[in-house]
Amino acid sequence: MGKISFGLDSQVYEYLLAVSLREAEILTKLRQETDLHHAKIMQISPDQGQFMAFLINLLQA
């Protein structure tokens, strides 16, 4: 999984996740489990997932 979705300093990225990421516990567990799978390169970072969910809700898709 791409741990960082764009080129940020790791400390800044960790801060971004700490203050803005709203991820349900089940999604966190699912992401961690998927990270163990051989096809984990298909997984997106949690902040990307949150942004995509925002866009889906915004577009009412």
Q: How far is CA 26 from CA 11, 23, 30, 45, 60, in A?
A: 25, 8, 6, 15, 23
Residue given tokens 């925002």 in the structure block? 54
Instruction: Note the pTM of the prediction, 2 decimals.
Output: 0.66
Instruction: Please check whether residue 2 lies inside any domain of the structure.
Output: no
3 in a domain, yes or no? no
Instruction: Specify if 1 maps to a domain.
Output: no
Q: What does the alpha-carbon distance between residue 6 and residue 3 come to, in Å, rounded to a whole number?
A: 9
In a domain, 20, yes or no: yes
| Cα–Cα distance for residue pair 61/57, rounded to 1 Å | 7
Number of domains in the chain: 1
**pLDDT tens for residues 11-48?**
888 888 889 888 889 988 998 999 899 888 888 888 88
- Which structural domain range is residue 28 located in? 10-59
4 part of a folded domain: no
Does some domain include residue 27?
Answer: yes
